């Protein structure tokens, strides 16, 4: 596989991001529905305090990992001649990060301060945090569809990744539409979990492909010092 260059380390950050995303989502068990009673939400926050604090800290680590991955990933398409689409990737990735960060900050604040807040306020902010995470999926849809177009034009990655990105974009749109009160397309429904599962897989695969691409590039351009 060759030497681990700075570029390969940056590309690999997406793999760790995807792993932490899955781990953090299951760290505190199954959370209450977005519209659960205030007593149930308060009980969950108090009963899983330590796990939720760790989850919040992992969210900070994921911010760093996502920025490194995004720069490596979009930069590869920019170098492949897809400057406009790479800019869309940068923008969508930053917007998604901002939305997720707001949702995460609200959740951490609730974990630490819910005992000093009224029950109705706790329930309101808890539900609001969920909607920030759902809105993030729209930004990820823009990122995935830009990846679909850029890879179709440049063939930076294999053709199958083109269609994986298209499938991911569709899943993210469906996840972003999950705002019904009940059922499959509700914030507590299965579609949101599917969308986030697909997102983790998509980022993991993209990061792995970036690593392979950097390894090949490094091998081709390595100075012939050993000859």
Q: Which residues, in sequence order, are CB contacts of 224 under 8 Å at separation 6+? A: none
CA 57 to CA 192: how far, in whole Å?
Answer: 23
Helices (H), the chain: 6-27, 38-47, 49-79, 83-113, 119-154, 159-176, 190-221
- pLDDT of residue 222 exceeding 60, the answer is no
- CB 172 within 8 Å of CB 182: no
pLDDT band at 223, cuts 50/70/90?
Answer: very low
Q: Please answer whether residues 85 and 69 qualify as being in contact, where contact means their C-beta atoms are separated by less than 8 angstroms.
A: no
Q: What is the DSSP letter of 177?
A: T
48: left (phi over 0), alpha (psi -120 to 50) or beta: alpha
Q: Strand, helix or coil at 80?
A: coil
Cα dihedral sign, 161-65-215-217: positive
Q: What is the pLDDT of residues 116-136, one digit of tens each?
A: 999 899 999 999 999 999 999
Flag whether pLDDT at 214 surpasses 80.
no
Looking up tokens 């398409």 gives: 77
Question: Is residue 224's pLDDT more than 50?
Answer: no
Beta-carbon neighbour count of residue 224 at 10 Å? 5
Q: What is the pLDDT of residues 134-180, one digit of tens each?
A: 999 999 999 999 999 999 999 999 999 999 999 999 999 999 999 99
When pLDDT is cut at 50, 70 and 90, the band that residue 22 belongs to is very high
d(CA 189, CA 130): 12
- Where in the chain are the domains? 6-216
Is residue 58 within 8 Å of residue 23, measured between CB atoms?
A: yes
pTM of the model: 0.89
Distance of alpha carbon 141 from alpha carbon 93, whole angstroms: 10
Chain-wide mean pLDDT for the chain?
90
Taking residues 67-73, what's their average pLDDT?
A: 94
């Amino acid at each position: 596989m060759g030497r681990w260059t700075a570029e390969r380390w940056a590309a690999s950050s997406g793999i760790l991001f995807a792993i932490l995303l899955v781990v953090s989502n299951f760290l505190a068990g199954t959370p209450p529905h977005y519209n659960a009673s205030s007593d149930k939400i308060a009980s969950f926050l108090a009963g899983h305090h330590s796990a939720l604090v760790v989850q919040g800290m992992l969210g900070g680590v994921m911010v760093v990992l996502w920025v490194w991955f995004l720069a490596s990933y979009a930069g590869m398409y920019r170098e492949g001649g897809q400057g406009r689409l790479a800019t869309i990737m940068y923008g969508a990735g930053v917007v998604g990060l901002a939305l997720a960060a707001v949702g995460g900050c609200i959740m951490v604040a609730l974990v630490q301060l819910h005992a000093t807040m009224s029950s109705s306020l706790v329930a309101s902010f808890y539900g609001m945090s969920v909607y920030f995470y759902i809105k993030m999926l729209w930004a990820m849809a823009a990122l995935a569809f830009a990846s679909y177009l850029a890879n179709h034009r440049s063939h930076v990655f294999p053709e199958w990744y083109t269609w994986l990105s298209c499938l991911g974009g569709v899943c993210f749109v469906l996840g972003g539409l999950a705002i019904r009160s009940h059922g499959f397309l509700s914030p507590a429904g299965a579609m949101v979990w599917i969308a986030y599962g697909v997102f983790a897989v998509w980022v993991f695969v993209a990061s792995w492909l970036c690593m392979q691409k950097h390894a090949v590039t490094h091998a081709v351009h390595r100075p012939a010092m050993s000859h």
